[in-house]
Structure 1
Amino acid sequence: MTLETHRAQPRAGAGLPPDSVERFKAQLRGPLIQPGDPDYEEACQLYNAMIHKHPAMIARCADVADVIASVTFAREQKLPLAVRGGGHNGGGLALCDDGLVIDLSSQRGVRVDPQARTVRVAGGCVWGDVDHATHAFGLAVPSGIISTTGVAGLTLGGGLGHLSRRFGLTIDNLLAVDMVLADGRVVTANAEQHPDLFWAVRGGGGNFGVVTSFLFRAHPVDTVIAGPTLWPLDRAAEVMRWYREFLPAAPEELNGFFAFMTVPPAPPFPEALHLQKVCGVVWCYSGDPAQADALFAPVQALKPSLHGVQPMPYPMLQTAFDALYPPGHQWYWRADFVRELADEAITRHVEFAERLPSMQSTMHLYPVDGAVHRVGPDDTAFSFRDARWSEVIVGVDPSPERAEEITSWTKAYWDALHPYSAGGAYVNFMMEEGQDRVQATYRDNYARLVEVKNRYDPTNLFHINQNIRPAPVPPPQVAH
């Protein structure tokens, strides 16, 4: 069974007094998109085409005032409320059925302060917007690996990517957020103002409000030495055993995520490798170029089939996977944090790599060490600072006819490897998997997250996410 839902589309403003919808619409500077409007279907498209949802209305908010009006309307009308930034969320949590979607996609401003090395980013930006703006000043903000990913979703979940070992998670470089809360207030959260809220949004997802602006610390990253190194799949066990020792001991300027993949039949890959199943590491070295040859010498000594590492602008690396993973494919995700790659786990990995069901299906191991480990497990809501890798298994294919096949492979792969995991998962790699998985991901931080939720969103208006459920309020004591 796939995640696709087959249901009648809602009527515009279904179940609401028409005059209240018209008053709401008149408050907005941006358009209110409803079923039957020419752009409704396009506005409902998600990055993961396996999921289909039909909101009653989509408010494409032009500014913060539109967001305030939308939050207020959803609260007063008791509507399901979803928040859409880039729309990349694997579980389709950027939309909701029969409710209101706050769509931030038209808010795409980025302002760089090169002297302070800070970047102010609007809530609807994708990382390509940020990279374009910062690269002009020789700067970068640590983010993910695909430039079309939304800034908001990736940041609020933690933010793993090419620069994590050197500069930490995206949230470790977050200085402040501006938010619209469930009661309609606008607040700035940082180390001095609403520090409890600032702690919670660094890994706690979209549970606490709508972030309309992010302030990030940027770093001097311009040209990196990066690209893939590939080996035949029959050497996967050997390469994984080497990788688990090599990377944690390497300088933090070197990042590399391990992957199983099918080589795309396109440049820059040589024709002899096209459509071959391989294992590999995608590298990003942001240190002294003079040290690169010595650093990669042990990699070359393993005699890879392809060593495609070369100097490139950092945004070039960030866009390298965009064409392979465009919007509109079928996706099914499963993930775990991993503390060690045991030999038994490696054996199971190889078994499932041999059965990669489609060209885009893959497994990645993202390193979680270096600078990430220098932040305590309770310093932010992101709990798994003691992990070594974030593992993600994804079945991907353009065709809806293969949705069941890629889903089954992903689930079976995850079932086989989960016993070797640390127990929780990176929330940005999770589907809707139930409350136990959410609590396992936040561990001892979950109780504190509930306290923050009770303070800022006690009615759980923001619940279409990996939800932190507010604690029920005990009934008042009646004197007898």
Structure 2
Amino acid sequence: MITVKSLKQALLQAEMPPHALKKQLSDEQYQSCFGDLMKGSESMTYRDFIIPHLSKLIEPLTRSYDSISVLEIGPGPESILGRLPYHHRRKIGRYVAFEPNKSFAACLQDWVCNGDGGLSPFPNRLCRPTIHQSKLCTSAEGICATINSDQTGGKFHVVLFCHSMYGMQPKAEFIRRAVDFLVNLPEKGMVIVFHRDEQWDLAGLVCHEQATYPTSTMSVRDCDEDLNKFSSFIVGFTWQDNENRNCMQSQWQEICRELGHREMLPNQLVFSSPAMFATFSKLSVSYSSPAPEVPLWTVRRPLKNREARGIKPALVFRPTTIEHVAQCVRWAIENGFSATVIGGGHSGHCVRSNVVAIDMGELNEVYITSDWKSESSQESGSLIIAGAGCKAGEVVSKAREEGLTVPLGSRPSVGAGLWLQGGIGHLTRLHGLACDAIVGAVIVSVDSGQMLFVGNVPSRYRPAGATRSENEQDLLWAIKGAGSNFGIVVSVVFRGFSAPTYFVKKWILSMEDGKEAISKLDEYANRFTEKLPRSLSAGLYLYQEAEHLYLGVTIIETSINDVRSENSCSDSIEGILGPTVSIETVEGLQIFEIEMYMSTIGGGHKKGKTSSFKRCVFLRKFHTSAASEILVSAIQHRPTPLCYVHLVQGGGAVQDLAPSATAFGCRDWAYACVITGVWPREADETELPQAVVEWTYRVTAALLPFADGVYSADLGPDPRDKMLALRSFGSNLPRLTYLRHKFNPHNLLAHTCPIQKPWTGPRLIILVSGKSCAGKDYCADVWKAVLAADDDPTISIRKVSISDKTKQDYALSIGADWRRLIEDRVYKEHYRADLTRFFEFQVWRRPQLPEEHFLEVVKDAVNVDVLFITGMRDRFLLPTLSPLVPGSRLLDIRVTRSEDNLFDTRAASERTPRCAESFPAKETLFHSSPSLVFKNDSRGACKARQFAQDSIRPLLSQDLQKLAAMIPSVSNFPQFGIEFQHVLHISQCPGGLSLCTSLMEAHFADNWSQVHSIICCEVGSLVFASSLASSVKVPLVLIRQAGKLPPPVVSVKKPKSHISSCDLQESRLEMDPRLVSSNAPVVVVDDVLATGKTLCATIELLQKAHVPAQNISVIVIAEFPIHRGREMLHQHGYGDIRVQSLLYFEGA
């Protein structure tokens, strides 16, 4: 799809009539064109990119200040700020705009004062908005004289350019002028720029945040009138006389129709219009160099990646020592900047526009030691220490001199980023991935700038001042497969392997048609997977030349002693594939030259320089032809003749490690499928690269249903990569998300492979709480065994103790055996009193420690469906912990036992009295109602087993999942920023209401026969409560808005929910107090529990009707823990009221 920029160039290059005179568009013409444009696909860019990012950027300001001031440049007829969520708009107290278009300025003045329906978009503004009908200029006198007339002195928290910098040159000067209008430090202020994604040279200005939206488009209706206005809008002018105007408009219509994309929207011509945003502050202008001795590149070294070559970073540091790197990091943290890291230069995100880059090229030393002995195990051997500036070829060449090698991939010029993200090459099947060979590393922390080392780093290769990381295990685990996200790796320590000799055979098979290509690709791929030993590795290439499909095959046999096995499988393959086209024996760097993309496809590299774009998908075994059909079709419809698909065989040593052993979690794959788009280097500035990129993403997406994962080494900040990154780390993604936030808290490494996923805990988390000696661990073991007895392979169950972490810390501090503290009850009792005091002291120093321990336990429960957590004694379990895991069902099962019957129930025959004096005298009092209560007062496990059958197993019922599937999610309703869950839709689904009713009836923790009445509040509750009341044969009591019920009534003020908070009208709730009894239980039924305000009002109303809190229970259809509704109940003194929810949702 051609870009708007290229369209403009084509329109301007159209042949003009002699003596034709141009005329600038009038304000009215511009307004008409702009209005038409916003009716097309451009509006989706505002909805999907601009508004979400603008809302996120302004969020910290609206949290920090009661009122903020905004200066907007060129807002048009309405400000984009009017489409922000209400809670942001109400914080805008002062609004000033510069709008040079007369028509726009008049519309803007009316809109900002009256809005839609007479309501101002900024309801809490402190002064009348000021609209200047003039341009922003870089002359300080011309603008400050106007601004300073305002009483606030002309300083703003936000200066906004939203697609309004077109024609402003040089842009750096306008941004500098905008920065001058920001509030002074230490107050927070930012310049926000939204623009078409173009490469700017901002003369050293450093942006704080940046993002692109490469899939943004601009569309126009395919009719002469609209095309005339659209083309004039794009070039910015029209023609003075009608004859020339008609002549040029005819040409422009033809150009638009020729270049426009027609398939995306009906009767529309669509053009690519990539968008971006960047933010700047006073620090963007006033920063200082990190240190005089840190060199800067004045002329940047050439980069391999085509995209990177065209990008202009703000600064490029060229550190020559590790201390230089640490200084750069500390400087970036101090100024709030992000940074990119340049290694081999193959990555498209090693540099970003107007972002600081750190070029590691000078740190390119390679050292080899052969006398290594592990400090923590019996391992020994040779180590290869490689600086982050090394290329793979340099490491292999140096190692070869010592008879060693490292499995570093298949391209000699790649850098450290590849090793840290995986590293797939010729030795993968024999020795594993490159990241698997990492045994240690030296890292500069992006949290503090401190120099750290992890794993096995020989002492003489540890930098002066470097310390062993306190989180060594996590950090080493993370850099082995996702290493570009957790720190700046300065050097890597590899385990060395004996250097092999490679015996290489090649075949090129001509395919008659696509059908044969599919058949052969399936056959050979599966045969190699089943038959080849680890010492052999197959590579398959699918490409097309002269409209003829070819399948290239390379078999590489690895030998340590230069001798091939007598019964080599590669010989038998000749009987299948036929005669080879070449047989070679190579060593060391020569192995990089034998790849077919280097020597055969498209004439090899001898044909001239090319650029490429690739993505890699891990394919499982070819059980069907579906994947082969996609690949063959992709080659047949490739955008250039140079594009190809490369299948690199996996298995072998890759699968020796468990997916959780390193961050590289995708290991169950047969082939790494590299979809490679290639084009001639001279076409870099044409539309061809974009076509190749789009083709690559399309093929990748089509293969995902057959994939075990996606290779993360190629992925970057492109929004399209975010979805792929969700498939890059397998079950390790939740842990990586947690660790990334932990090790990269300032988001300094913001432009690496995106590891962003909201934390999702187990489906069901059961907190087993109770006093000491109540039998919590025993009961949890019984309940776990009952669920495990179902032998359901789709449900995994785990039981952990929340106190294990404290026991480990305590044991370390006093030298005790932490395993015995966990496993040996007698040993634990000896230390119990001191252990309790130790924990209380820790909590005194770190009040959030219980929550931290809880999250750590949940974090470690990767791929667990049901998690039992014992040892819980916190006062407010559900109100405190449920918002931390909003996507999980969190229950508190209270285990109770009479004080005079504290005995051990580890076996049915044991009744060992316990000594109360061995426990701390002070027991925590529980101040929250549990979800369920289990009275552990019977000998043996029968009662506990029955409780699990009756009360816990139903929580895993498929019926609950069916009910959840009946609730659709609606974005930005009823206002922007709300992810609305349409709970009432249950009643509109066939069988939905009856299913919901049966679940409420079954999950109720008490006895329905004792319930006097069911309480419902308004329509949302009435739908479900009336059905339930009819089913259990209990009277229904209505709570209505004031004036809807006849007297006598009692009433309370009706609160505004987080969804209806924009409704400023106050109302009250009423009920007839004669319908309830002070001595009988009632059940409140509501559709949603979010903030808890409505539920609190309902309970208050019941208490006015003389129903005590202990007689009130609550059943909710859907709960949103993130809003802390249970905490609201506690704040109102209703914490002892039991609230049961059928479903839980993460959203707003």
Q: What TM-score do the two structures reach when normalised by structure 1?
A: 0.86
- Alignment match of 1:348 (pick from 613, 627, 630): 630
Give the Cα–Cα distance (whole angstroms) in 2 for the partners of residues 164 and 2 of structure 1.
Answer: 40
Amino acid at match of 2:556: C
Please report how far the alpha carbon of residue 316 of structure 1 lies from its aligned counterpart in structure 2 after TM superposition. Answer: 0.2
Say if 1:10 and 1:55, in contact at 8 Å, map to a contact too: no
Pair 1:50–1:81, CA change in 2 (3 A): closer
The answer to whether the 8 A contact 1:454-1:471 is kept is no
What's the counterpart of residue 215 of structure 1?
A: 493
User: CA 1:50/1:71 → structure 2, altered by over 3 Å: closer, same or farther?
Assistant: closer
**Matching residue of 1:452:** 739
Whether contact under 8 Å (2:647, 2:673) holds in the other structure is: yes
- Alpha-carbon deviation of 1:199? 0.4
CA-to-aligned-CA distance 1:24-56 (integer Å, 9 cap, x gap): 25141xx213xxx4x14x45x442347732211
1:426 matches 2:711: yes
- C-alpha separation between the residues in 2 aligned to 1:337 and 1:305? 30
Moved more, 398-407 or 66-75: 398-407
Structure 1 stretches lacking a partner, 5+ long = 264-273
1:313 aligns with 2:587: yes
8 Å contact kept, 1:127–1:149 = yes
Q: What residue identity is the alignment partner of 2:573? A: V
Question: Is the aligned partner of 1:159 residue 2:431?
Answer: no
Q: Is the 8 A contact 2:330 2:449 kept in 1?
A: yes
Structure 2 CA distance for aligned equivalents of residues 165 and 112 of structure 1: 24
1:385 aligned partner:
667
Matched residue, 1:443: 730
Cα separation, partners in 2 of 1:50 and 1:101, compared to 1, 3 Å: closer
Q: 1:67 to 1:319 in 2, by over 3 A?
A: farther
8 Å CA contact 1:230–1:304 kept in 2: the answer is no
Q: 2:390 aligns with which of 100, 125, 130?
A: 125
The counterpart of 2:203, out of the listed 8, 11, 17, is: 11
Question: Is 1:291 the counterpart of 2:590 in the alignment?
Answer: no
- Please say if 1:261 is aligned against 2:543: yes
1:389-428: CA deviations, max 9, x gaps?
2212111112223223423432343344333223x30101
SS of alignment partner, residue 94 of structure 1 = coil
Counterpart pick for 2:576 among 288, 299, 302: 302
Residues 303 and 461 of structure 1, relative CA distance in 2, 3 Å threshold: closer
- Residue by residue over 1:92-114, the C-alpha shift from the partner in whole angstroms, topping out at 9 and shown as x without a partner, is 11112212101101211111224
Q: Percentage identity across aligned positions?
A: 22
Pairwise CA distance, 1:471: 7.2
Q: 1:246 to 1:32 in 2, by over 3 A?
A: same
CA deviations on 1:414-464 (whole Å, 9 max, x unpaired) are 344333223x30101435324332222223211211232233222221121
Whole-Å Cα distance in 2 between the matches of residues 306 and 295 of structure 1?
14
Q: 1:358 to 1:138 in 2, by over 3 A?
A: farther
CA distance in 1, matches of 2:316, 2:357: 5
Question: Would you say the 8 A contact 1:49–1:331 is kept in 2?
Answer: no
Specify the SS of the correspondent of 1:441. Answer: coil
Which of 421, 438, 444 aligns to 1:180? It is: 444
For 1:319-376, what per-residue CA distance to the aligned partner results, in whole angstroms no more than 9, with x for missing partners? 4456846997432323322112122322332222334443542111222210110100
Secondary structure of 1:393's counterpart equals strand
Q: Give the Cα–Cα distance (whole angstroms) in 1 for the partners of residues 325 and 366 of structure 2.
A: 19
Q: Structure 1 residues 411 and 196, CA, compared in 2 at 3 Å: closer, same or farther?
A: closer
Compared with structure 1, are the counterparts of its residues 275 and 84 closer, same or farther at alpha carbon in structure 2 (3 Å cutoff)?
farther
Structure 1 residue 162: deviation in Å?
0.5
2:406 counterpart (138, 141, 162): 141
Which of 549, 552, 555 is residue 280 of structure 1 equivalent to? 552
Distance 2:743 2:2 in 1: 35
Residues 54-133 of structure 1: matches in 2 within 5 Å?
Answer: 54-89=312-347, 92-114=348-370, 116-133=381-398
Query: For residues 333 and 2 of structure 1, what CA distance do their matches in structure 2 show?
Result: 21
- SS of the counterpart of 1:112? strand
8 Å contact from structure 1 (residues 80, 96) kept in 2: no
1: CA distance between counterparts of 2:738 and 2:703? Answer: 33
Map 1:221-236; keep pairs closer than 5 Å. 221-234=499-512, 236=517
* Structure-1 separation of matches of 2:423 and 2:530: 19
2:333–2:746 Cα contact (<8 Å) kept: no
**Comparing both structures, which one devotes a greater share of its residues to helix?**
2
Larger RCO, structure (CA 8 Å, separation 6 or more): 1
- 2:482 aligned counterpart, secondary structure: coil
AA matched with 1:338: L
Distance in 1 (alpha carbons) for counterparts of 2:577 and 2:284 = 69
Q: Displacement, 1:163?
A: 0.4
Determine the C-alpha separation between the residues in 1 that align with 2:2 and 2:537.
35
Secondary structure, counterpart of 1:203 in structure 2: helix
> Kindly tell me: are residues 280 and 434 of structure 1, through their superposed partners in 2, closer, same or farther at Cα, counting changes over 3 Å?
closer
Q: 1:451 and 1:328, CA in 2 relative to 1: closer, same or farther beyond 3 A?
A: farther
Cα separation, 1, equivalents of 2:659 and 2:341: 27
Please name the residue that 1:368 is paired with: 650
Change (3 A) 1:247 1:121: same
Q: Which runs of 5+ in 2 are unaligned?
A: 6-196, 207-281, 372-380, 457-467, 760-851, 853-883, 885-1121, 1132-1148
8 Å Cα contact 1:338-1:390 kept in structure 2:
yes
Write the distance in 1 (CA, Å) between the matches of 2:451 and 2:308. Answer: 35
SS at match of 1:169: coil
Distance 1:135 1:344, change over 3 A: same
Q: Report the residue type matching 1:426 in the other structure.
A: Y
Moved more, 215-224 or 55-64: 215-224
TM-score (norm. length: structure 2) = 0.37
2:1119 matched to which residue of 1?
A: none
**Change in CA separation of 1:67 and 1:470 when aligned onto 2, cut-off 3 Å:** farther
CA gap 1:426/1:329 in 2 versus in 1, 3 angstroms: same
Q: Show the counterpart of 1:189.
A: 454
Tell me if the contact between 1:128 and 1:315 (Cα under 8 Å) persists in the aligned partners: yes
* Rounded Cα–Cα distance in structure 1 between residues aligned with 2:326 and 2:651: 39
State the match for 2:296 in structure 1: 32
Worse overlay, 121-130 or 328-337: 328-337
Residues 275/314 of structure 1: CA separation in 2 closer, same or farther (3 Å cut)? farther
Of 287-296 and 385-394, the range deviating more from structure 2: 287-296
Residue 466 of structure 1: aligned partner: 753
* 2-structure distance, mates of 1:124, 1:388: 32
Alignment partners' CA distance in 2, 1:434 and 1:223: 37
Corresponding position of 1:413: 699
| CA–CA separation in structure 1 for the residues paired with 2:481 and 2:205 | 34
1:169 maps onto 2:433 in alignment: yes
The answer as to whether partners of 2:715 and 2:754 remain within 8 angstroms in 1 is no
Moved more, 333-342 or 387-396: 333-342
Alpha-carbon separation, structure 1, partners of 2:345 and 2:386: 17
Shift of 1:305: 6.4
1:204 equivalent in structure 2? 482
What amino acid sits opposite 1:79 in the alignment? Answer: F
Distance 1:450-1:290 versus aligned 2 partners, 3 A rule: closer
**Residue 292 (structure 1) shift:** 6.4
Question: Residues 315-334 of structure 1 correspond to what in structure 2 (within 5 A)?
Answer: 315-320=589-594, 324=604, 329-334=610-615
